Structure formats: C-alpha cells, structure tokens
A = this chain, B = another copy of it.
Amino acid sequence: MSRDVAHRRLRAGIVGGGKGSLIGAVHRVAAELDGQADVVAGAMSTDPRRAAESAQAWFLDRSYASYEEMARQEAARPDGIDFVIIATPNHLHYPVAKAFLQQGIHVISDKPMSFSLQEAREEVELVEKSNLIFALTHNYTGYPMVRQARDLVRSGALGSIRKVIVEYIQDWLMEPQEQSGNKQAAWRTDPSKSGIAGCVGDIGTHAENLLEFITGLKIASLSADLSTFIPGRQLDDDANMLLRLENGAKGLLTCSQIAAGEENNLSIRVYGSRAGLEWHQMEPNSLLFKQPGQPAQIHRTNAPYTSESSQAATRLPGGHPEGFYEAFANIYKQAIADIRRVESGEKPLGGYPTVYDGLRGMHFITKAVESSQKGATWVNMND
C-alpha cells in the first residue's frame, strides 16, 4: 500500500491513552504540535464506555472498542490512519505494534518496547521485514540540548570519554500509591503488566538510552543493585548500578521512584579526556560545557553556535523556554518526516529512537535484573 501524503496532514490513530492517562495526551499534543498530523481515530480504552468518552473529548472521528478492530478497519479505509500511536501499559506494546505493522501501518510506540526480551527480538524482525517506520518515544533524546551534547561528543570536543554519571530520580512511588487506586501506579508495579522490572523499566531505560545516545558508546557490563523499599511492592522502586562502557569508560546509573522531593529529575554528566558536559532535564534549555582551565560555557537552546541537528529540534528563539512537549514532538517530527519519505518512495533518514534502541532497552532491563538477582554482581551485556 502506498499513500499520497504530500499535501495534507498525516492521520494518526491512538491505542490507549484514555481519560486519566497522562501519556496519551502527551502523545496527542506531540503528534499534532507541528501541524503535520491529526489524531483522528482511537481505541483508547479496553472499557468501551471510557473509550467512547475519551474519543469524544478529543473530537476524534472514529472510536474503536479494540485495537485489533481498529487495525483492520483503518487499514481498509481509503482515509485510514497513516500511523498508530501506542500509549498502553507495557504488556500491550508488542501485540499492538504487531497488529498494526501487519496491516502496513507505521508505528510510534511508547517505551519500553515490549514486555520481554523475546518479544523485542520478534519485534525487530517484524520491523526489519516491513517497509514501515517504527519510532520509540525515548523522548528525552528530543531535547535540543541533548542533541547538542551528543554532537559535542561526536565532534571530539570532549576527547575520549572516561566517566559518565546518569540519574533519573522521582518520588511519586515513595508511598504505596498502587494500593490506593492510582491506575498509573498500579500497572507500573504489577509484573503482569510492567514486566520483570519496575523503576528500571519505567525510567531506568530512559537513563540507559540517554547515556548511549549522548556518548555514542554501549554499556559493556554492569553491576546492578535493585531495591524495593515499599513493603508489598512486587517490583523494584530504586536501583544503583556500576557501569563499564565498551571503550573502557566507567559509569554510574541510578534511578529511583522513592527519592523524596524529586519530581522528574533526569540528568547526565559526561567527562572526557578534554572536557565535560552536564545537562538537567528540569532546566532543559541549558547545557554546561566544561573545559579544564577555561570558563564553563552555558550552551542554550537555539543559539547560533549549536549544532545543526540541535537547531532543527527547536522552534523558538533563545530564551523562550521549550519543554517536555516540544522535545516529545521532536521525535514525532522526525518520524513523521520519515513516514512522508517512505510513502514517497524515499529512504528514511532516522534521527529518532528505533526498534534497535528498544531492543537495547530490553537487554538492559534483563541484565540489570539478572545482576541484582545474583547479588549485584557483574554481568556482561553481550552474553
């Protein structure tokens, strides 16, 4: 199937993301922000009434009771959706992606990519066999200053990387919220929906992805100490890890959802043989670039000295704060551009996290849990 997408906004459908979901609305805003796509269809909840209400609240043209039905019917319509957005709990990520990929519909999926490493491997195969775009919303790579950081490393400005410290700490699960009706907390702490990891899967994978994105280096081995501080909770809510990267660099990764007083504190520091850098998600428009013996520099979103790919990820002049939605929309922006390309017979250009990042994340989860179960001993990421 080929679609004529040149002179119109793309049409998107969404699975999950019904009322009460945070991330559903984020996906809608991000998908539509640049005026390149409209969400027009949805299977927004397994509860039909909630699905319908959610679709109505968003003025969607079409609402479905199940994603399977949506995949079939949209594929059959002349004005069917061009891509699907997956905003469900983890255990549905792969089945939903599979259903739409098999109907020839592009996929933009939330992370982690799947429920298990096995599923992730199947997903890679499925995407490889298709001619479809698959983007994974490791949205933090969409920040202009994250791209600037990556490009500084790539340019050699840091020299060879020696040390990395990456953190993602929150406090929203520091009480047993899953026991008092918080749906977001409930599925994330439920092994049947979240998978083998809690915090490590939910936000640890963002930290891992950010580290590998910025440094361009892979984690070679790790020693992970996972903890569950809240009694009765079945999955980890905190983790500390020692890392060794493929080039000999050393690292620390910590993630937590019980760090009292922390909102959504993702940060990274990278130190090389020539310079270091530091970025904080909560003040995302500044990036510290530190050269020994010289004044630290504050790189800023959309400044003229920033890299081309960093500037391409901005929409406003310096000093007009761009935030979480805009970074998220940058993943969509590039994925949508690639959908347009593929539909026009061109080669996709990438730039956004793909199925391989998703596989990498599932490896990371698997190895971190394995290490912790063995007493926080070293495990090789490639075994």
Are A319 and B170 touching (Cβ within 8 A)?
yes
* A318 CB–B CB distance under 8 Å: yes
Complex CA–CA separation, A59 to B34 (angstroms): 11
Q: How many Å from the CB of A136 to the closest CB on chain B?
A: 19
* A121 CB–B CB distance under 8 Å: no
Are A22 and B300 touching (Cβ within 8 A)?
no
Are A315 and B264 touching (Cβ within 8 A)?
no
Q: What residues on B are CB-neighbors of A260 within 8 Å?
A: 158-159, 271-276, 290-292
Are A250 and B262 touching (Cβ within 8 A)?
no
Complex CA–CA separation, A204 to B275 (angstroms): 22
- Indicate the size class of the contact surface on chain A: 35 or more
Complex CA–CA separation, A293 to B174 (angstroms): 11
Q: What residues on B are CB-neighbors of A265 within 8 Å?
A: 319
Q: How many Å from the CB of A250 to the closest CB on chain B?
A: 5
Complex CA–CA separation, A225 to B321 (angstroms): 30
Q: How many Å from the CB of A12 to the closest CB on chain B?
A: 12
Within 8 A of B (CB), among A28-61: 28-29, 32-35, 39, 56, 58-59
The chain B residue with its CB closest to the CB of A265 is B319
Are B321 and A321 touching (Cβ within 8 A)?
yes
Are B22 and A28 touching (Cβ within 8 A)?
no
Cβ proximity bits A269-308 to B, threshold 8 Å, 1 near / 0 not: 1011111100001111100111111111111100111000
Which of A254, A318, A323: most chain B CB closer than 10 A? A323
Q: A240-B242, A259-B269, A294-B303 are in contact. List 13 more A-B contacts (CB 8 A).
A: A9-B59, A162-B229, A229-B273, A242-B242, A260-B272, A260-B291, A261-B271, A264-B319, A281-B321, A289-B295, A320-B324, A321-B321, A325-B326
Measuring CB to CB, which residues of chain A are less than 8 angstroms from any residue of chain B?
7-9, 22, 25-26, 28-29, 32-35, 39, 56, 58-59, 158-159, 162-163, 165, 167, 170-172, 174, 223, 225, 227, 229, 238, 240-242, 244, 250-252, 254, 256, 258-265, 269, 271-276, 281-285, 288-300, 303-305, 315-326, 375-378
